[in-house]
Structure 1
Amino acid sequence: MKLLIAFFLLIVLIIFQELISCFSLNISASPGYYQDGDFVIGGLFSLRVTAGDTRSRFGFTDINHIPEHVYVDLTKHYQHMLAMVFAIEKINKEPNILFNMSLGFYLFNVDFIEMKAVESSMALLSGESPPIPNYSCRPEKTDKLVAVIGGISTGISTQISRVLSLYNIPQISYAPFDQSLGTRVQLQSPYQFPVHTTALYQGIIQLLLYFSWVWVGLVVPDDMRGELFLRDITEQMTKHGLCVAFAEKVPEFPAKDTVNRGLFMERFTLTRVIVAFGDTYSLLRFVYNTFCNTPFGNVWITTSDWDITIIPFEQDLGYTFFGGGLSFSVHTDQILGFKDFLGSVQPRKYPHDTFIQDVWSIIFECPYFDQHWIRELRQCEQNGSLSTRPLHVWDMNTSPPSYKVHAAVYAIAQALHEELSLRVEGGSLDKGVSWAPLPWKLHPFLQKGQLGRSSNEETIVSKEVSATKLDILNYQSLQSGTKAQVKVGEFVFESQSVQHLSLNDKLITWGEHLNQTPVSVCSQSCPLGFRKTPVEGKPFCCFDCVLCPDGEIANETDKDQCIKCPEDQYPNKQRNQCLPKITTFLSHEDTLGAVLTSVAISLAAFSAMILGLFIHYRDTPIVRANNRNLSYLLLVSLMLCFFCSLLFIGQPSTVTCVLRQVMFGVVFSVAVSAILAKTFIVVVAFKAIKPGSTLQMWMVTRLSNAIVCCGSIIQVCICAVWLGTYPPFPDVDMQSEIGQIILWCNEGSTLAFYCVLGYLGFLASLSLLIAFLARRLPDSFNEAKPITFSMLVFCSVWISFVPAYLSSKGKTMVAVEILSILASSAGLLGCIFLPKCYVILLRSGGHSRKNLFK
């Protein structure tokens, strides 16, 4: 009996404690917006960024106790709630979806406070009162809960999931897809709308390439999503020749600001284009840092997750900093009738909405009195239309999160429809069984839809459409002064090889600081004629420009390597184009060629005149003294020497290349052999005329003739061997002179050529030696001195010829050889024959043999 009484008292105490708890906590910690229905969907949204929790009441005549501090009123996020209300109203008007049953909702504002998200999640399970785990103070609300939609960020979604996953209640997150979300939740992760991240990365890359923006800064939140984005986008940028100027990691807003102001200013001043990846809340700290500095005139490339039009300041100031930004948004069709619905929303239409009045007062800028953190609202227009509000507080177009919320409601409704269909087929729906299904029974049906989950092992997503289409929006100021996000292009991604970017440049405006498309590079482009060279310690986008070397060009800007011109072309002075080379050779039309031709002909004519003079005075002693036949032969050979120089002038051919060297070698050998023979006669003649000498003059004459023949035949043999082995041939020289193709005679065998010159040098040296030894014979008959001087001239010319010939190119090389031929021949002619001509013409009276022997 005592045990029974004790057990009864314990039960009464427990029931009484529960009633007392529910009664004492009757004031709601997280006031929500409730609408009854056969099934209830919970909604956890974020309408502002605060510094702490809130205990407030709403009304146009009420006094609202403001929390510790409100940083940003995100009035545009109220559209997310309205998207859920609109979707549920549409579903309730279609009785076939839920078999004449209705949907209700239970909406909470959790701001961006994770503790508040946990509290509101528990309030969905416990009722309106402050939540008590495992207790339901208002079962008429909590027993109808079938699913929850929320939250807007990964952190909020994680905390909501920690509570709901304990009861296996489906949660659909409308936050940006985060593949790491599954690692944060110990049990079941929330459903997410999958996003083709590769398409987004490729869209950003193609946009950067389209405008040639190669020096780009990155701004990401300091979390796992930011790290993954940095890793992936950096890899893609490197593949496409783009460089990361810097990577700014933004700490979450409640955290301490650790930004280096000086470095912040330097980065954003030197980098024109910034890619910002994150959402409105995660980048809020960055927005405040940006507003604390002078506008830099940067171009922002963002995603729709970060609404750059939501600025915690006035609209014009926000446009000053972020105007001209380009935003990627997943293409979604407008929800049918949603814009009209938004235009009809007014506080009087939804009197039970606990959020509309405060949002309305901010959107319509109602006058208020603010003192000691108390805001008293007065005279707010309740009949206004949201369609008249500026972009920074409201947007009539469906935002991507609103589209997700709307789709999530329909996904839950479809899951309910399929689950109820099974009941109808089983007949249980008509037997008075409870209508509210168990929430966890909806999981199989939700997994069939366009939703996915992240897990520790893998990422499970639904079937992706064949192509992903991204709209590109431009934040600009219209002519009317209003601000808007205008669609300026789109990016369609099917695969890595099939993607298309279409952009209308004329529709884009670049904000207040830029009048034309900006340039974002680390180094200015290398002009034509220059190539890039890397700068040590800097990315490959930073480089110096170096002029292309000789013979190479750069016909495009920013060339990594210069291009070598073909052999028959040469670079211009700017080294940006190859020009055809001019074919050149020493021709008769050239000034140099004409002068040399005139000189050669003149000297040949002068030789002929001397020959005629010697023939005319052939019987004089001065002509007969040294074998006049040798004199004739020498004059003829010198005349031919002058004429053979003409073979070097003109366009080279096979015949002229062979003849010029052969004639030069053979004719000069005859001339030098004749001089050697004349020198020999000078020495031997005195012995032949001395008394008792056994030498006869006819023997001396025959010996001199033999010297000429032998000396010439040896040179002919050398030339024959030269022509038989590796003869001269016409060739082209494309490298010696810039812009010219030189036609010249290749000597063939260089050894044979220098053998010819060496043999001539041997004959000349022998003549010089003999003439030098005979220099003391009587002056009247002695021809040794003129021969000595002529050989000195001859040897000096050809000794100078060798270095001059080797150091010259093209026309100059041919001219050097011609000058050497003319100079050496003229030296022989002048030193040997001019004195005799002087004696013949001016001293004709002293030609007797008697006078000569004196």
Structure 2
Amino acid sequence: MKFLIAFSLLIDLTVFQEHISCFSLNLPASPGYYQDGDFVIGGLFSLRASAGDTRIRRFGFTDINRIPEYVHVYLTKHYQHILAMVFAIKNINKDPNILFNMSLGFYLFNVDFLEMKAVESSMALLSGESPPVPNYSCRPEKTDKLVAVIGGISTGISTQISRVLSLYNVPQISYAPFDQSLGTRVQLQSPYQFPVHITALYQGIIQLLLYFSWVWVGLVISDDMKGELFLGDITEEMKNHGLCVAFAQKVPDIPTKNTVNKKLLFERFTLTCVIVAFGDSYSLLRFVDNIIGYTFFRNVWITTSDWDLTMFTYYQNNTLFTFGGLSFSLHVDDILGFKDFLESVQPRKYPHDIFIQEVWSILFKCPYIYQNRVVEHSQCEQNGSLSTCPFYEWDMNTSHYSYKVHAAVHAIAQALHEELSLRVEGDSHDKSVLQAPLPWKLHPFLQKGQLGRSTNEGNVVNKTVSATKLDILNYQSLPSGTEAQVKVGEFVFESHSVQHLSLNDKLINWGKYHKETPVSVCSHSCPLGFRKAPVEGKPFCCFDCLPCSDGEIANETDMDQCIKCPEDQYPNKQRNQCLPKVTTFLSHDDTLGAVLVSVAISLAAFSAMILGLFIHYRDTPIVRANNRNLSYLLLVSLMLCFLCSLIFIGQPNTVTCVLRQVIFGVVFSVAVSAVLAKTFIVVVAFKAIKPGSNLRMWMVTRLSNAIVCCGSIIQVCICAVWLGTYPPFPDVDMESEFGQIILLCNEGSTLAFYCVLGYLGFLSSLSLLIAFLARRLPDTFNEAKTITFSMLVFCSVWISFVLAYLSSKGKTMVAVEILSILASSSTLLGCIFLPKCYVILLRSGGHSRKNLFK
């Protein structure tokens, strides 16, 4: 009997000590919002950013006071996440078929953005009291009904929640932005997530930057693993599409202003006009805390809906400042009836909601006071409506966070339905089996849905999303005086090859600092006709613009290399287009060609007139004394020399190219050989008339004919070898003259050409030498003086020709040769025959053969 009494006392003492433990820790640290049900879903949300929970503990069980927390920002919009969960559970409880006429309850906590609070609240869900008692269930009526937990809003919060819940295998659904690396952060089981095609976000940002030609972009990322992954991926994608990162600014984990070099931050933000930001709401809070007071808001921001810039409107110098720009948000459908539910929410309808009083006091500017170091809110306007609140404090549209919370509740309800269905089918007569299942039994059913899980290997188990649609939103003030996120476009991504960006840039409001679409480049585009030249030590988006070189064009802006025009084309003055070259040659229609033709024909006619004169006065002493046969031959060859220059004028072809140099060489060799013969006759004639000379005039005549024949035949042989080896041929010159294609005759063998000229030079030099030696012979009709002068001029002309020929191009080269032919032929004609014509026409009567031999 004593043993039974002692045993009963021991049991009572144990139970009493357990209650003492629970009650002693029943502190008002993190009170929650509880609604009972047959099944309870936990919820961990972040409604504000605070400096932490500060408590003063004194001796005793209940002698504890609370010091008010320092709150950085009240995130009133996040209260919609809680209402989304309440609304979903309310609708599920209305349908008796989902949970077999059983109800859902909830247990909600505000963990701010503090990981310590997340751990504490997770333990409170498991123990049933706050603050919690590890491994104790102080309220079994609460803890035994817990089937799953929804939370938190960031990867860090989700990780800490999972570290606690995974110990008890309680399913957790995170509504934070999808993070594939989340499985590597927790030791046991990773939370369920709503998978999103993260590549769609990267491609959407890239396509938006390309749409506005923003190639010089700054990046602001959270300083964590997710931020590092985003930085690596987006940098690679930008590089592949010709975009550059001006800077990459990481938001530090510790929210203190001393962790950022504000001078460097200011310099970075002035580098570019466009900033791409990636992170969660808390990283944005830390960022704003670091840059507050600086006018960085001239930048255009490209963000995701996770960075809700509209919540952080603040006043600076009595002016309302907001982050302006564009935001990508996962397209979600409106939750049916949710907006009407939000309009009906009022504090008096939810007296047990410990969060609505604080949110209401902020939204409707209700005063609150501190009594005994505890916040007490005054009575707010109970009939107020959330639809009347400013946009930066409340949004009636369903956020993607609220949508995920709502979907998470339905996913848990569906898993419960399937689990209960199995039990009802097994024992349909015993309704007692419909009690709260053990939480880990829901895992197989949760994995069947659209939820995914990250493993340690980084794989995601989920159903593949065929297409991802992102809405592009722009924060702006409407004409009605209200603010709103206006949808200005959308981006649909199916694959890298199938994606579509549609944007109505006329709807975009760039803010007070940008009336038009801003420009964000490191270097302005190189115009047509210029190419990009890299700047050493800077990214490829920074460059100088250099004009294209001769013969090259740039027909597009920002070309890395200029394009060389084809040979038959040339660049215009702007060097942005290749124009067809004009085909040109020395034609009869050209002024120069017409003049040369006229001169050549005139000189040929003049030669013919002199020839006719000599033939008419062939019996005069002066004609007979100068070997009239050689004079006839020289005049005919000179006439042909004048006429052969006509072959050089006109479009070159195979016949003219071959004939022009051959005829020129042969005819000129005949003329110079005749001059040489005449010179030789002058010397030999005086030897023949001396007393005792054995020479006869007929012998002299034969010798002169032999000189002419030999001199001509040698040139003919040279030309024959030239034509037999490498003859002249028609050719084109595309380089000598800008914008022109010159049709010309290629001489073929340059050596043969200069051999022809050299042989003519040899004959003329020999004639010059002999004439120079015979210039002082006493004779009235001595031609040595005139031949000497004519050959001196002849040689000077052709020496000048060689120099001019080598330095000239195109039509000029042909004109130089024609002028040399006409000048040298005219010299011979004028110096040798004009004096004789003067004598024949004006002084023929005073000469006689008798005077000839005086």
Q: Normalised by the size of structure 1, how large is the TM-score?
A: 0.95
SS of aligned partner of 1:623? helix
* AA aligned opposite 2:484: A
**Alignment of 1:497 onto 2:490:** no
1:233, CA displacement in angstroms? 0.8
CA distance in 2, matches of 1:269, 1:374: 45
| CA–CA distance in structure 1, aligned partners of residues 815 and 617 of structure 2 | 37
Kindly indicate whether residue 783 of structure 2 is the aligned counterpart of residue 786 of structure 1.
no
The match for 2:766 is: 766
The whole-number CA distance in structure 2 between the counterparts of 1:775 and 1:317 is 113
After superposition, the Cα gap between the structure-2 partners of 1:809 and 1:210, relative to the gap in structure 1 and judged at 3 Å, is same
Match in the other structure for 2:307: 306
Q: 1:832 to 1:46 in 2, by over 3 A?
A: same
Counterpart position of 2:61? none
AA of the residue aligned to 2:432: G
Give the equivalent residue in structure 2 for 1:61. none
User: Are the structure 2 counterparts of residues 312 and 583 from structure 1 closer, same or farther at C-alpha, using a change threshold of 3 Å?
Assistant: closer
* Matched-pair contact (CA < 8 Å) for 1:601–1:643: yes
Q: Aligned-pair distance for 1:8?
A: 6.7
Offset of residue 784 of structure 1: 1.8
Match of 1:152 in 2: 153
State the Cα deviation string for residues 567-624 of structure 1 (Å, max 9, x = none): 2221110011112222211122322222222222232233233223322332222222
1:733 and 1:579 mapped to 2: Cα distance?
17
Pairs within 5 Å for 1:11-50: 11-50=11-50
- Change in CA separation of 1:514 and 1:360 when aligned onto 2, cut-off 3 Å: same
Secondary structure of the corresponding residue to residue 332 of structure 1? coil
1:817 counterpart residue number = 817
Match of 2:353 in 1: 353
CA drift at 1:222: 0.6
Q: Determine the structure 1 residue equivalent to 2:284.
A: 283
Q: Residues 419-465 of structure 1, C-alpha deviation per residue, up to 9 Å, x if partnerless? A: 10111011077163460111111111111111111121232231122
Partner of 1:670: 670
User: Share of identical aligned residues, percent?
Assistant: 85
Deviations 1:330-382 (A, max 9, x none): 11111111111111101111111000011011011224568998866446222
Query: What is the distance in 1 between the residues matched to 2:820 and 2:776?
Result: 31
Residue of structure 2 in register with 1:237 after alignment: 238
Amino acid aligned to 1:93:
K
1:606 and 1:828 mapped to 2: Cα distance? 13
Post-superposition Cα deviations, 1:790-814, rounded to whole Å, max 9, x if no partner, equal 1111111111111211211111111
Question: Aligned pair in 2 of structure 1 residues 373, 483: CA closer, same or farther (>3 Å)?
Answer: farther
In the TM superposition, what are the counterparts of 1:354-503 in structure 2 within 5 Å?
A: 354-368=354-368, 377-378=377-378, 380-427=380-427, 430=430, 432-433=432-433, 435-503=435-503
CA distance in 1, matches of 2:275, 2:846: 108
Deviation at 1:680, TM superposition (A): 1.0
Moved more, 291-300 or 7-16: 7-16
In structure 1, give the amino acid aligned to 2:515.
Answer: N
104-113 or 745-754, larger mean C-alpha shift: 745-754
The alignment status of 1:193 with 2:194, answered yes or no, reads: yes
Offset of residue 54 of structure 1: 6.0
Deviations along 1:140-195, one digit per CA (max 9) or x if unpaired, are 11111111111111111111111111111111111111122222211111111111
Match of 2:60 in 1: none
Matches within 5 A, 1:191-340: 191-255=192-256, 257-311=258-312, 313-314=314-315, 320-323=321-324, 325-340=325-340
**367-376 or 210-219, which deviates more:** 367-376
Structure 2 residue runs without a partner (length 5+): 57-64
Does the 8 Å CA contact 2:423/2:433 hold for their aligned counterparts? no
State the match for 2:127 in structure 1.
126
Q: Report deviation, 1:136.
A: 1.6
**Conservation of the 8 A alpha-carbon contact between 2:269 and 2:296:** no
Number of the residue aligned with 1:164:
165
> Alignment partner of 1:43: what SS?
strand
Q: 1:776, 1:314 → 2: CA distance?
A: 116
Matched, 1:742 2:742: yes
C-alpha separation between the residues in 1 aligned to 2:449 and 2:774?
123
In 1, Cα distance between the equivalents of 2:55 and 2:300? 41
Structure 1 residues 546, 817: CA separation in 2 closer, same or farther (over 3 Å shift)?
same
| CA apart distance, 1:518 | 1.5
CA distance in 2, matches of 1:316, 1:32: 39
Cα RMSD, aligned residues only: 2.4
Whole-Å Cα distance in 2 between the matches of residues 121 and 481 of structure 1?
Answer: 43
One-letter amino acid matched to 1:347:
P
Whole-angstrom distance in 2 between the partners of 1:585 and 1:170: 91
Q: Is the 8 A contact 2:529 2:547 kept in 1?
A: yes
User: What is the CA-CA distance between 1:470 and the residue it aligns to?
Assistant: 1.1
Q: Structure 2: how far apart are the matches of 1:150 and 1:9? A: 43
Report deviation, 1:746.
2.0
User: How many angstroms apart in 1 are the aligned matches of 2:85 and 2:768?
Assistant: 120
Aligned residue in 2 for 1:137: 138
Structure 1 residue identity aligned to 2:475: Y
Q: Which amino acid aligns with 1:662?
A: V
| 1:60 alignment counterpart | none
1:620-651 deviation digits (Å, cap 9, x = unpaired): 22222221111111112112111211222222
Report the equivalent of 1:796. 796
- Secondary structure at the aligned position of 2:309 is classed as coil
Return the letter of the residue paired with 2:219. Answer: L
- Residue 672 of structure 1 and its aligned partner are, at CA, apart by 0.3
> Which letter does structure 2 place at the counterpart of 1:771?
A
Aligned 8 A contact 1:71 1:312 in 2: no
* Matched residue type, 1:309: T
- Greater shift in the superposed pair: 378-387 or 546-555: 378-387
Matched, 1:634 2:634: yes
- Which deviates more from structure 2 when the two are superposed, residues 297-306 or residues 841-850? 841-850
Q: Distance in 2 between matches of 1:370 and 1:576?
A: 76
Instruction: Name the aligned partner's letter for residue 150 of structure 2.
Output: I
Confirm or deny: 8 A CA contact 1:347 1:356 kept in the other structure. Answer: yes
**In the superposition, relative to structure 1, how do residues 624 and 439 fare at CA in structure 2: closer, same or farther (>3 Å)?**
same
Residues 618-657 of structure 1: pairs in structure 2 closer than 5 A: 618-657=618-657
1:85 is the counterpart of 2:92: no
Q: Single out whichever of 490-499 and 30-39 deviates more from structure 2.
A: 490-499
Q: Look up the SS of the partner of 2:327 in the other structure.
A: strand
CA distance in structure 1 between the partners assigned to 2:374 and 2:575 by the alignment: 75
Between 606-615 and 229-238, report the one with greater CA deviation.
Answer: 606-615
Are 2:194 and 2:404, in contact at CA under 8 Å, matched by a contact in 1? yes
Conserved? CA contact 1:585–1:743, under 8 Å: yes
Q: TM-score, normalised by structure 2?
A: 0.95
Report SS of the residue matched to 1:480: coil
| Cα distance in structure 2, aligned partners of 1:194 and 1:421 | 27
Whole-Å separation in 1 of the counterparts to 2:689 and 2:632:
24
